[in-house]
Amino acid sequence: MTYGKLFAALADPTRRAIFERLAAREQSVAELARALPVSQPAISQHLKVLKEARLVRDAASGARRIYSIDPDGLWPLRQWLDRFWGDQLASFKVAAEREED
């Protein structure tokens, strides 16, 4: 479920572009909208998805809203990845975490 939102958030190319821009430096919605070939509402909707996946954060700054990447956002992804990184060693890890879906 959490993994689902995480992977789904990163599946969209526009959303990955947003994330990568924010990784370079934090910026406002309008700034992202100017840089990417979609409308401002599309950016807001993408940011909402990224925020629900805990990949980005936002902070008010006057009329603007500054978005930045959540430092801990990629940690679950790395955890998931590490479960399969040890080849055959991953077998028991998989069995151990089969509870959650």
Partner DNA sequence: GACATTGATAAGTCATTGCTTACAATAAGC
Partner DNA sequence: GCTTATTGTAAGCAATGACTTATCAATGTC
Based on the shown chain and the rule CB under 7 A, indicate whether residue 77 belongs to the binding site for DNA: no
Based on the shown chain and the rule CB under 7 A, indicate whether residue 47 belongs to the binding site for DNA: yes
Contacting range for its own copies; rule: CB under 8 A; set: 23-31, 39-47, 58-66: 23-31
Which partner in its own copies, DNA, none is near 29 (CB below 5 to 8 A by kind)? DNA
Tokens encoding 26: 């934090």
Contacting range for its own copies; rule: CB under 8 A; set: 28-36, 40-48, 57-65, 77-85: 77-85
Could you tell me if 68 and 26 are in contact, meaning their C-beta atoms sit under 8 angstroms apart?
Answer: yes
Coil, helix or strand at residue 64: strand
Based on the shown chain and the rule CB under 8 A, indicate whether residue 60 belongs to the binding site for its own copies: no
Based on the shown chain and the rule CB under 7 A, indicate whether residue 10 belongs to the binding site for DNA: no
Could you tell me if 83 and 3 are in contact, meaning their C-beta atoms sit under 8 angstroms apart?
Answer: no
Question: Of 41 and 86, which has the nearer Cβ to DNA?
Answer: 41
How far, CA to CA in Å, does 1 sit from each of 70, 80, 99?
19, 13, 12
CA distance 22 to 10: 14
